[in-house]
Amino acid sequence: VEGLTPNAEALLRCLSLSPLTPLRPLVRRMPGFWEAVDELESRGTIERRGAFLRIPHGFVRAMVQQAMGASERRRTHLALAEDCADTWPQVEAWHVSFIDPDEETPQQLASHALGLVRRGLTAGGAEYAERAIRVCNDVEELRGQLVEIAEALSDHGQFAFSRRYTRIASRSNRAAVVVRARTLEVRNVFLETQTLPSSLFTSWSRYESEQAPAEVARLQLTLALCHCERGEFDRAQELLALAEAADEHFRDSEAQLVQAVRILLDGNRGKDGAAFAGFVSLQEHQDAIRPSFGLAVAQGLVLTEHYEAASAVLDHIGETCAATRVWKRQVDCVRADLEMRLGRVSQAVDVIDRLIAESEADKRRGLVVVRQDRILLLHAWKLLLTGRAGEAGLVEEQAAVRASATNNHRLLVELNALQGRYLLRTDCAAEAIGHLRRCEQLSADETNPNVRRFEGDLIEALVGIGRREHATLLLQKLRDRAKACPSQWTDLVVSRSEALLAAGETATDLFGRALRQASTSEFVFEKAAIHAAFSARLADNGSMLKAREQRLAAAALLREVGASRLADHLRNGQIVEEPKAPTLPDLPRLGELSDEELKVVELVRAGMKNREISERIFVSLRTVELRLTAVYRKLGVGSRTELVSRLAGNPRLAAV
């Protein structure tokens, strides 16, 4: 900030007094405003956030403030409050709080804090909340608003501030506020660690049940959703029954949570009625649907094989919650699961790559990685399906450690199912059995075979090592479960298993029937598995030419869905490890770029010229040039060519 022009210094002093300052009042007040903005932007001292300007570096802002005298700060606060009185009430309230706050000022600041956080301006919102606490004579008056702010911050993944306001709210004299704060803490802990707080923390008293029945029900339903995510459905059912006892006190939010829990419980049992009812409700009341309900609808539709409807729901949630990091992350996790179930490897890998890039960006920014359990599992799946088994082993080890540390049986089951399936597809049936038997042990209480999808692989592995009697017993169990929870996938797996256990021409006929069943686009990967199993049977019978035909058919299908490494294995008999991506030049300061600068960088990488970029993002050509200058300085590059060269293929920009 040394060597600034007088106009730039004056602008910087104004901006230092507020976390966000609107452009319009400053344009009217300050001569040479735009020249000062260009000067400060080119140095990276300030940045734009929509209609606001801000100083992104806290140290710079504090230093400029301290260089101002008390009388100058007061005069500037007063002038900015007057300038913003008619058009920017939130900024006016901020400056008034330093001049002459009244009894309503804390509530106004808290209200504006919530609005800023919901617009994605989380840092500014947190400063407004802190200022509200500072000027409030009795914090009890703010505790209810602080819970709302904490909930909005949690949606954006800002758990540190969310937890701070949750703690303040939890000391309220009002039972409703206390229970609501406890509910949010349960949600935050689960998103961060996939565990639940101790039973002492998650319990509720008779007094709370009497004074705040709706809030207690919300706590019970939130706990039920967390248990569903962990595969602990019996406990979720108990909590649902407790919550429904207070249904006469339900508001819309509690009613939606009840539906969400029912959808997940029914989906686990193979029943699609609740999910379809939720889908209809979502179509009729799109604006009133909460993300937790929409996500449960999508998960229920996935589990009951209504994939197009599930994809439509995910598209809707993704659009409405695009700015909220937590919900966007969970939507992508469900979308990846959907693509994996459909066997669309290329599409699944694209989603997983985005999830990994975003989680790495979170780590660099010091943020908590949301749903690390799902991301580790998806990462391992991607590495195995793309032929990088060596790297997958490290990720699998991390996932196993996390599953054990958090007592997460669902993660452990899915990890073992993934490992067993991969070993089976690479002709390691004996090794696969250990993992698949572990799945069987951990899933003994589950009724729907379409949830974890490991029984068919276990039967095939047992047949592969000659344990046909054991495989026959498992097939009978699978048939019984298929009657209780019918699904197209289970029927297909039963047909494949019957063919594997049959002999002679009967086996040939059954394989043919299974292939006809798998003729739809959603079973391409499963059809490849049937061709591969048929090939192995023909080879065992000495029909090598026909076995080769079936093997090549399986390889073609696998290549079609993007599983080229498994296809190569079928063709060549081995998986060639995909070469590790070359190490890219480290860009340790990439996380310091603002959202606007990241967008410009992404468009530069796409080959667009400055004028094209200005037209695309609706800013002036000069603004694009200034943002690029700031990027060059922050990343230590000297030209556009060097920037593009250093960023070529860099996954850190996938989250832009």
Task: Answer whether residue 17 is part of any domain.
Answer: yes
Residue 165 banded pLDDT, cuts 50, 70, 90: very high
pLDDT at 204: 92
Separation of alpha carbons 180 and 216, rounded Å = 8
pLDDT at 286: 76
Domain that holds residue 637: 590-655
Looking at 553, 576, 599, the residue that finishes a domain is 576
Q: 């999508």: which residue's tokens?
A: 298
Residue 128 banded pLDDT, cuts 50, 70, 90: very high
pLDDT at 653: 43
Separation of alpha carbons 270 and 268, rounded Å = 6
pLDDT at 321: 87
CATH of the domain at 56: 1.10.10
- pLDDT, one tens digit per residue, over 509-541 is 999 999 999 999 889 999 999 999 999 999 988
Residue 146 banded pLDDT, cuts 50, 70, 90: very high
- pLDDT, one tens digit per residue, over 7-42 is 999 999 999 999 999 998 888 888 889 999 999 988
Task: Answer whether residue 258 is part of any domain.
Answer: no
In terms of domains, do 523 and 597 share one? no
Task: Answer whether residue 346 is part of any domain.
Answer: no
Task: Answer whether residue 323 is part of any domain.
Answer: no
Looking at 550, 576, 602, the residue that finishes a domain is 576
Residue 261 banded pLDDT, cuts 50, 70, 90: very high
Q: 């660690």: which residue's tokens?
A: 193
Residue 51 banded pLDDT, cuts 50, 70, 90: confident
Q: When comparing pLDDT for 399 and 626, which is higher?
A: 399
pLDDT at 654: 38
Task: Answer whether residue 601 is part of any domain.
Answer: yes
Q: What is the number of residues in the chain?
A: 656
Does pLDDT of 584 surpass 60? no
pLDDT at 198: 74
CATH of the domain at 599: 1.10.10.10
Residue 589 banded pLDDT, cuts 50, 70, 90: low
- pLDDT, one tens digit per residue, over 385-413 is 988 888 999 999 999 999 999 999 899 99
Is residue 52 a contact partner of residue 23, using CB atoms and an 8 Å limit? yes
Residue 591 banded pLDDT, cuts 50, 70, 90: low
In terms of domains, do 536 and 611 share one? no
The number of domains in the chain is 3
- To the nearest whole number, what is the mean pLDDT of the chain? 89
Q: What is the mean pLDDT of residues 547-559?
A: 93
Looking at 576, 598, 632, the residue that finishes a domain is 576
Q: How distant, in Å, are the alpha carbons of 294, 493, 518, 554 from that of 465?
A: 44, 19, 26, 22
Alpha-helix runs per DSSP H in 203-286? 206-211, 213-229, 233-244, 252-268, 273-284
